Amino acid sequence: MVGANTIQSMYEDMVTARYYEERLQEVYLEGKQPAFDISAGTIPGELHLAAGHEAAAAGVCAHLRDEDTVTAPHRPHHVAIAKGVDLPRMTAEILGRETGLCKGKGGHMHLFDPDVNFACSGIIAQGCPPAVGAAMAAQKRNEDSVAVAYLGEGAVDQGAFLESLNLAALHDLPVVFVVEDNDWAISMPVERVTDVENTAERADGFDMPGVRVDHDDAVAVYEAARDAVGRARDGNGPTLLDVQVHRRMGHFMGDAEGYRPDEDQERAQRLDAIERLADDLREHGVDDAELNEIRETAEERVEDAIEWARDQPEPAPEDAYENVFVDGTAAASGGED
Amino acid sequence: MTVAIDSAAVWPEDAEDVDEAVVANWFVREGGDVDAGEAVCEIQIEKVSIDVPAPATGTLVERTVAENEEFRRGDVLGRIDPD
Amino acid sequence: MSKPASDPGTGGADRELTMSRAMVDAVAAEMRASDDVFYMGEDVQDYGGIFDSTEGLLEEFGRDRIMDVPISETAYVGAAVGAAQAGMRPIAEIMFADFVGVCLDQVYNQMAKNTYMSGGAVNVPMVLTTAVGGTYNDAAQHSQTLYGLFAHLPGMKVVVPSTAYDAKGLMHAAIRDDDPVVYMFHKRLMGIGWMPAPEGPKTPVPEEDYTIPLGEADMKREGSDVTVVTLGLHVHRALEAAEELAGDVDVEVIDLRTLVPFDTETVVDSVEKTGRLVVVDEDYQSFGVTGEVTARVAERALGSLEAVERVALPDVPVPYSRPLENEVNPGADDIVAAIESIK
C-alpha cells in the first residue's frame, strides 16, 4: 500500500520533470529554426530529453536520501529532479553559465551535484562502476547509504554494466541498477541487439535478484524499489530493476525518428505514466483543482529556474584552464602565451 | 527557356505544416552539367534531409537559393538550361 | 530520405560531394567488388550513421552486410579483428572516437599487435572508422580527436581526410590495405545538414575508383615564409589564416592526411624552404602530434629551423560552454597569431 502523500510527492517530481523537458525543448530550439544547426542557439550541443521516463526516476528516488548516491547517463534531467538536484543551477549548467552546477564545463550530459550525491556520465553504462564504488565506500565505512545506477536498456550489452553486476553481487554491495527500458537504443530496437527479452533475467547469471516492472506505473516502480533499496540498505546486496518507460521526444533533439514506426511513437504518447498517477491521486480524493495547483507550482518552479539561468553570466574564456587539478596545478600547456 | 527546380515538388507529406527550410548542400556549381533525376542539392526541413533531383538534363545556370540559406516552400531553388 | 549508395550525388564530372557521401561512395564500391567487405556499427542501418557515414548503404547491401550491433564495442571491434584474421575485410565504426575507451584493448592489444606478435604469420586487414572533433559544444566526452593516441600506439595506420576527394581515395586505400587502418572523420567536415561545414571539404569527386596512398601529405597551399602543418578540420582553418595573411606573410599549408605512416619528407622539405614551422592540431598539445612533427623536423633539419610554434588544445578536457570551448579549440585567429609571432 502506498500512501497519498507519497503518490503526490512522486506526482510533483514527475510533472516538474515533464514540464522541464518541454520547456527545455523550446529553449533548445531558440536560434535553431528553420535551419537546425546543432551548435547554434541558447543551448548548443546534443540534448537528450527524458519525457516518458519520469516514473523510473520518481519511483526509485522516493526511497533515497541526500547521502545516497545516484549516477545517471546521458539522459539525466528527470533523475536529477527526483534526486533533488538544485534546479536553477542545473539549468544554468545546461545553458553553459558560470554559476551552473559545473561552471559551464560539464553541460547537460555531465551534471554533478555533490550536495545530493548526484553524478553523470555521457558514456553508455559507464556510470555503473562509480555507483558500485560509492556502495563500496558505504559498506567499508559501515554506513547505511546506498547507490543507484541508472542506465538505458541499450547499455545492458556493455561490459561495464555486466562487470559491475558481478562485482556488486560478489561483495553484497548496497547498489541498485535501474534500467530504463524505452525500447530504443537511438535507432536500434531491443530485438535487433539482444535475444534476451527480459533484462531482469540477466541478474540470474550473477546470483542477484532481478525485477521487471513492465509498465511505467510510478506506484509499481515505487513498490519494486522499496524492496530493492531496502535490501541494499539492510546489507543484503544489489538488485537489478528493469523498468519499462517510453521515449516521447526522440533520442536527442532534432532526431526525426525516420526509423521508428508511427504507431510506436503514438503508443508512447498514449501511455502516459503521469496521467495514470493523476488517476491514482483522484482515487485518493485529490480533486482536479488540487492537481492543477500541483502542476502550476511545478511550472512556476521550472520557469523561475529557466529565468534565473538566462540571467546568469557566461564563464570567462580563461576559466577553461581551471579545475584540471584540485590543487590548481596548471594544465601542461594551458594558459600560456 | 530554363526549367525551375521547384522546392514544393519535393516537400514531404509529413512536413505539410512546415513552410520554411534551408539548402544544406549544393552538389553542382553554376555552369555545371546535371542529369535529370540526379541530386543537385540537399535541403533540410526540420532536420530531415531531402535530396532534390534535377528536373531536366542540362546546365545548372543559377542557384537562386545559396548554400545554408533559408527559403519558403514553393521557392525556386535554381534553374537548369536543358540540353 | 537520402539517395541510395549507388547514386550518392549527381552523375558526371561536374558533381561535388560532401565528405560523408564521398566516404560512402568508396565503401559502396568496395562492397560491390568484394563480398568480404562488410560494415558493423551502432545506428548504421536505418539511421545511416549518426554522422551519415553509412547513409544509403542499407538499401543496397541489406542487413547482413550493413550490421547494426549492440552497444558492445569490445565485442564487435574484436569481432572485426577476428573476421579480418579469417580473411575478410570488415569495417567497424566507433560512433565517437571518445568511445574507444570502452574497447581499447581490442584496438591496441589485438588489432594493432597481432601482426607483429605473430611474426607476420597473421594480418588484420580491417578498417576502424570513427567520428572526431568538437566545435559544437558536445563537451568533454564527445568532442575529442585523439589523433595522437591512435598514432602513438604502434601497429595501426591512421588517416584523417579533410576533403571529399581525399575521403574517397583514402577509404579505398584503407579497405584495400592489408593492415588495420583507423579512419578518423571530422564531424564538422562531413557536410551534415545540421552541422554546417566550412568552405572547403566539399570537392569534385570522380565517379571511378582511385586511391590516395597512405603516407602522402598534401601541399594545400605553397608559400615561402612560414610552414603550417595540420590535419582534419584545422586544414581549413589554416587555409583561412593563410588567406588572411596573404600579401603580408606567404604561408605554406600542409595537410598531413595520414599520421601513420608519416610523410616526413614533405614536412622537412617545406621547413628547409621556409625556416619557420607552425603545427596546428585539435588534439591535446602535450605528448602528441604537434610535438612529434616538431621533433621530426628538429632531428632532420635543425639547421634550417629558425622558429617553431604549436597551436593545439591546451591539455584540458573539452569544456561545454561556448566561450570555454572557443577558448581552447584553435581558431583561424589563433593560427594567424602564431604565424605572426614567428614571421
Instruction: Answer whether A256 sits within 8 Å of B47, measured CB to CB.
Output: yes
Model confidence band, residue C55 (pLDDT cutoffs 50, 70, 90): very high
Least CA distance to B24: which residue of chain C?
Answer: C193
Name the architecture of domain A4-313: 3-Layer(aba) Sandwich (3.40)
Q: Give me the helices (H) in chain C, please.
A: 19-33, 57-65, 73-85, 104, 114-117, 147-152, 164-176, 233-245, 264-274, 289-301, 322-328, 332-342
pLDDT at A334: 53
Q: Considering only the beta carbons, identify the residue of B22, B45, B48 that sits closest to A258.
A: B48
The CA dihedral of C2, C8, C10, C12, to the nearest 10 degrees, is -170
Judge whether residue C7 has pLDDT over 80.
Answer: no
Nearest in space to A123 (alpha carbons), one of A111, A110, A135, A105: A110
- Cis-peptide into C261, omega within 30 deg: yes
Alpha carbon of A154 to those of A162, A187, C179: distances in Å? 12, 11, 32
In chain C, positions 115-174, which contact chain A (CB-CB < 8 Å)?
A: 135-142
Q: Residues B19-40: pLDDT tens digits?
A: 999 999 999 999 999 999 999 9
**Contact, C17 vs B27, CB < 8 A?**
yes
The three grid cell numbers given for residue C59, joined into one nine-digit string: 538499401
Residue-level length of chain C = 343
What is the ipTM, given to two decimal places?
0.95
In chain C, positions 81-110, which contact chain B (CB-CB < 8 Å)?
A: none
Residue ranges of domains in chain A: 4-313
Return left, alpha or beta for C142; rule: phi > 0 is left, psi -120 to 50 is alpha, else beta: alpha
**Contact, C114 vs C85, CB < 8 A?**
yes
Q: With both helix axes pointing from N to C terminus, report the angle between A4-29 and A54-61 in degrees, rounded to the nearest 10.
A: 140
d(CA C258, CA C216): 7
**Contact, C52 vs C190, CB < 8 A?**
yes
pLDDT at B46: 82
**B–C: how many Cβ contacts below 8 A?**
61
Q: Which residues pair with C45 in a beta bridge?
A: none
Instruction: Answer whether B22 sits within 8 Å of A35, measured CB to CB.
Output: yes
Q: Pairing mode, if any, of strands A239-244 and A175-181?
A: parallel
pLDDT at C323: 98
pLDDT at C153: 98
State the best of B42, B46, B51 to mutate against chain A, taking most chain A CBs within 10 Å.
B46
CA distance C15 to chain B (A): 5
d(CA C307, CA C304): 9
**A–B: how many Cβ contacts below 8 A?**
21
Residue ranges of domains in chain C: 16-204, 218-342
CA distance B75 to chain A (A): 15
The three grid cell numbers given for residue C87, joined into one nine-digit string: 580473411
**Contact, C250 vs C223, CB < 8 A?**
yes
d(CA A163, CA A158): 9
Q: Residues C175-196: pLDDT tens digits?
A: 999 999 999 999 999 999 999 9
Q: In whole numbers, what is the pLDDT of chain A averaged over residues?
A: 96
CA distance B66 to chain A (A): 13
Q: Residues C138-167: pLDDT tens digits?
A: 999 999 999 999 999 999 999 999 999 999
CA distance B19 to chain A (A): 9
Across chain A, the runs of DSSP E, i.e. the strands, are 69-72, 118-120, 147-152, 175-181, 184-185, 188-189, 210-213, 239-244
Nearest in space to C55 (alpha carbons), one of C4, C129, C7: C4
- Phi and psi at A61, nearest 5°, equal -65, -20
Judge whether residue A306 has pLDDT over 70.
Answer: yes
CA distance A47 to chain B (A): 14
The helices-and-strands tally (H runs, E runs) of chain A is 11, 8
The pTM of the full predicted model, rounded to 2 decimals, is 0.95
Instruction: Answer whether B68 sits within 8 Å of C196, measured CB to CB.
Output: yes
Q: In whole numbers, what is the pLDDT of chain C averaged over residues?
A: 95
Name the architecture of domain C16-204: 3-Layer(aba) Sandwich (3.40)
Nearest in space to C194 (alpha carbons), one of A28, B24, A30, B7: B24
pLDDT at B71: 95
From chain A, pick out residues whose CB is under 8 angstroms from the CB of C43: 186-188
Task: Using CB atoms, list chains with 3+ pairs below 8 Å to chain A.
Answer: B, C
d(CA C165, CA C8): 14
CA distance C195 to chain B (A): 9
Least CA distance to B18: which residue of chain A?
Answer: A34
pLDDT at A35: 85
Model confidence band, residue C15 (pLDDT cutoffs 50, 70, 90): confident
Q: Considering only the beta carbons, identify the residue of C13, C17, C193 that sits closest to B27.
A: C17
Least CA distance to C43: which residue of chain A?
Answer: A187
From chain A, pick out residues whose CB is under 8 angstroms from the CB of C314: 320-321, 331, 333-336
Nearest in space to C266 (alpha carbons), one of C215, C199, C201: C215
3-state secondary structure at position C192:
coil
Q: Residues C63-106: pLDDT tens digits?
A: 999 999 999 999 999 999 999 999 999 999 999 999 999 999 99
3-state secondary structure at position C77:
helix
Report the share of chain A in percent with pLDDT over 70. Answer: 98
pLDDT at A273: 96
- Mean pLDDT of all residues in A137-156: 98
In chain A, positions 16-45, which contact chain C (CB-CB < 8 Å)?
A: 35-39, 44-45
Judge whether residue C4 has pLDDT over 60.
Answer: no
Least CA distance to C49: which residue of chain A?
Answer: A187
From chain C, pick out residues whose CB is under 8 angstroms from the CB of A96: 137, 320-324
CB-based contact, C16 to chain B, within 8 Å: yes
How is domain C218-342 classified at the CATH fold level?
Answer: Rossmann fold (3.40.50)
Judge whether residue C9 has pLDDT over 90.
Answer: no
- Mean pLDDT of all residues in A222-243: 98
- Count of CA atoms in the C-beta half-sphere (13 A) of C228: 36
Q: Residues C229-274: pLDDT tens digits?
A: 999 999 999 999 999 999 999 999 999 999 999 999 999 999 999 9
The three grid cell numbers given for residue A220, joined into one nine-digit string: 509499481
* C172 is a catalytic site residue: no
Alpha-carbon dihedral sign for residues A137, A143, A149, A150: negative
From chain B, pick out residues whose CB is under 8 angstroms from the CB of C11: 35, 38
pLDDT at C12: 53
**Contact, C15 vs B27, CB < 8 A?**
yes
Instruction: Answer whether B22 sits within 8 Å of A34, measured CB to CB.
Output: yes
Q: Residues A77-127: pLDDT tens digits?
A: 999 999 999 999 999 999 999 999 999 999 999 999 999 999 999 999 999
pLDDT at B14: 82
Q: Which of C142, C186, C234, C236 is catalytic?
A: C142
To the question of domain B3-82 being in CATH 2.40.50.100, the answer is yes
**Domain C16-204 shares a fold with domain C218-342:** yes
Residue ranges of domains in chain B: 3-82
Q: Residues C256-265: pLDDT tens digits?
A: 999 999 999 9
Q: How far is CA A20 from the centre of its chain?
A: 13
Instruction: Answer whether A122 sits within 8 Å of C321, measured CB to CB.
Output: no
- Mean pLDDT of all residues in C286-306: 97
Nearest in space to C77 (alpha carbons), one of C110, C117, C51: C110
Contacts of A107 (CB under 8 A, 6+ apart): A45, A93, A94, A96, C137, C138, C139, C320, C321
Q: Residues C298-330: pLDDT tens digits?
A: 999 999 999 999 999 999 999 999 999 999 999
Instruction: Answer whether C1 sits within 8 Å of B49, measured CB to CB.
Output: yes
